[in-house]
Structure 1
């Protein structure tokens, strides 16, 4: 694995920023000419063990982060019950209903614990294909996500790429979204992708391809969203020619999904089979 991380570092060292001009030619196919794996986490390890600390660390709390900007109801912990390997090559992020999980943004005790795992300071990418195979939990108020933040600047100036978001009240739809200066929060560039069947019924592969001046979203190998600087709203800035790190989390409640109801089942589990980063070969 150390060799993979060194390879990734060498790849990123040659990547830098660029202008925000739209591409002059037609966009390249999403699948490219080929891909070379440069980093992965296959989540191999004994049942109950923690995610690899060389790859992941935990964001913590709720009130300390002002409800994570969304008035969320979970308190993130580093506890093994909230993020652990299942012994079968998968990571489990578990949200549990707890009477007093920790202080929430509203001054009351949070009612849930969960986990938010990040690769900041450990693994990053600038360009390439980033994907994960995930099974999301179902239920009102459930909000799992696989996403990416830019380094070095405050949100939204460093950029946010939501590779996959799911909210329980739209059980057959996933969302791919871009946030940046002039198009963040409720004004983000959001694309729903309806499946025609409940997302939580099975594992799916969620992918982003990040090229200079272009970001492409796919689910199970099918493209459903593509953005370039030319598609930004007036006054928006393209801020994606920089390194990004990865985030896996399972939020409960918040401005978008709303709170859980009496039908929401806990514990709720987000199961991740693997996460991989590829370099494009041309």
Structure 2
């Protein structure tokens, strides 16, 4: 059974709340003080249909620095709709409150609308908030990765002054019904955020990828990588596209003894993999690209999700990297990039955000065992790149004009096609024998555009 997962914002004991940042008035909502992060307090909970019981949250009164009450106190508990509305209206992209909605009244029940604490207590008696699991999970907003928030706040103290910084708490509820290590069985949404689904591959048919959607690169292609690209290493099985990187020797039919080209001076390739693209099959201009995938992280792996323009040579055609995973200085990173042309042919201007892989695994030790959603939102003004709804890179269109090598054209105001590949070596580092076979697993690829 999937457990309720409660994630507290950066928090510590009450006595660590710095007095220059926190009102030292005495009375607070204990759960708010426990997770106050310098600006607000929130508890995020993932709710799964496999849970047998409703979700219950306890709320209590407490005094600053865990002091013992020397008098009785009662307060009212209110639902602070105005504060939530302000948070939602000011929410930045990728923030906790982006696209959040107020939890409907019928979805929860309060055991009381008052909290109290008696003389001699460090913590008052509990008020319970019961979230009706079945009603919450039946709501399509939550099942489609939305979120509901219940904003609670204490007011009207009968004795102690209320600490105005830790007197409220945001209870955030999200859906977590499927196993994150497996493909998502849900059918794709036909509409999302005012956009409609215009193209997708769910990889639901076993066997080779759909030739109506994909073409395959062949041989040694780019970056002096070690693998020989071939279509055989890509197979669909049980709702997932699996690209397998193999340690195996294949002959290079283009081999020329003494050649100065890295593509022809290798008699053999010692590794094989797949790079597949929608070139000549599908391209698009503006919208949202979503790819749910589980990436290999063994030494030597260089998985990528990216797009290229098909109207000019690289880099003036424009490149958007939703995902790259490789080594920098011997340490693994996840990258989100854009690239465009300069005054010199084959020389790119990059907007690259590099995030240490350890920052992902520090939050979740099993991160690499799970599928994650890489997303690009692309419009006339900017390109935003996300991982699991967290914004990592924004590129303004106004900053991406090509140089003289491509006549000062605008690369990201042209159509792009999609590439999925698993490279081996080069930026991925020297491959480790125990990293094979590598498996790059893609659950789906979806493209949305604004409804006409």
Return the TM-score normalized by structure 1: 0.77
CA distance in 1, matches of 2:451, 2:391: 19
Q: In the alignment, is residue 75 of structure 1 matched against residue 228 of structure 2? A: yes
Shift of the alpha carbon at 1:110?
1.3
- Does the 8 Å CA contact 2:306/2:320 hold for their aligned counterparts? yes
- Tell me which residue corresponds to 1:180: 340
Deviates more, 1:221-230 or 1:52-61: 221-230
Matched with 1:212 is 380
Residue 201 of structure 2 corresponds to residue 41 of structure 1: yes
* Counterpart contact for 2:299–2:435, Cα < 8 Å: no
CA distance in 2, matches of 1:150, 1:95: 26
Between the aligned partners of 2:347 and 2:326, the Cα distance in structure 1 is 16
Q: Distance in 1 between matches of 2:271 and 2:296?
A: 15
Q: Is the 8 A contact 1:33 1:281 kept in 2?
A: no
CA, structure 1 residues 34+193, in 2 after alignment: closer, same or farther (shift >3 Å)? farther
Shift of 1:42: 0.4
CA contact (8 A) 2:290 2:446 kept: yes
The alignment's C-alpha RMSD in Å is 2.6
**1 CA distance for matches of 2:368 and 2:326?**
11
CA-CA distance at 1:185 after TM superposition: 6.4
SS in structure 2 of the partner of residue 52 of structure 1: coil
Unaligned runs of 5+ in 2: 1-91, 100-191, 256-261
8 Å Cα contact 1:130-1:275 kept in structure 2: yes
Residues of 1 paired with 2:402 and 2:304: CA distance? Answer: 28
For the residues of structure 2 that align with 1:159 and 1:125, how far apart are their CA atoms? 13
- For residues 348 and 286 of structure 2, the distance between their equivalents in structure 1, rounded to whole angstroms, comes to 26
Structure 1 residue matching 2:368: 3-state secondary structure:
helix
Instruction: Give the superposition deviation at 1:141.
Output: 1.4
TM-superposition CA deviations, 1:194-229 (whole Å, max 9, x none): 443065231100001110131000111111110113
Q: What is the match of residue 211 of structure 2? A: 53
Matches within 5 A, 1:118-197: 118-167=277-326, 170-171=331-332, 173-182=333-342, 187-194=349-356, 195-197=359-361
- 1:241 equivalent to 2:413? Answer yes
> Contact between 1:101 and 1:112, CA under 8 Å: does it hold in 2?
no
TM-score, with structure 2 as normaliser: 0.50
Matched, 1:258 2:409: no
Q: 1:148 to 1:278 in 2, by over 3 A?
A: same
Paired position in structure 2 for 1:10: none
- Residue 105 of structure 1: SS of its match in structure 2? coil
| 1:75/1:101 contact within 8 Å kept | no
- Which residue of the partner structure matches residue 22 of structure 2? none
Q: 1:45 to 1:235 in 2, by over 3 A?
A: closer
CA contact (8 A) 1:101 1:113 kept: no
Q: Go from structure 1 to structure 2 and tell me whether the alpha carbon gap of 1:223 and 1:58 turns closer, same or farther (over 3 Å shift).
A: same
Does 2:265 correspond to 1:107?
Answer: yes
- Measure the CA separation in 2 of the matches of 1:257 and 1:116: 15
Please state how far the C-alpha of 1:105 moved relative to its aligned partner. Answer: 2.6
| Cα distance in 2 for residues equivalent to 1:101 and 1:92 | 24
Structure 1: any 5+ residue segments left out of the alignment?
A: 1-27
Aligned 8 A contact 2:340 2:402 in 1: no
Between the aligned partners of 1:143 and 1:219, the Cα distance in structure 2 is 17
1:14 is matched with which residue? none
Q: Which has the larger radius of gyration?
A: 2
Which is worse superposed, 151-160 or 125-134? Answer: 151-160
Cα deviation, residue 258, structure 1: 2.5
Query: Taking structure 1 as reference, are residues 37 and 170 closer, same or farther at Cα in structure 2, changes over 3 Å only?
Result: farther
Question: In structure 2, what is the equivalent of residue 280 of structure 1?
Answer: 450
Moved more, 94-103 or 155-164: 94-103
Tell me the distance in 2 between the aligned counterparts of 1:188 and 1:147.
14
Q: SS in structure 1 opposite 2:298?
A: coil
CA contact (8 A) 2:340 2:400 kept: no
Equivalent residues of 1:179, 1:185 under 8 A apart: no
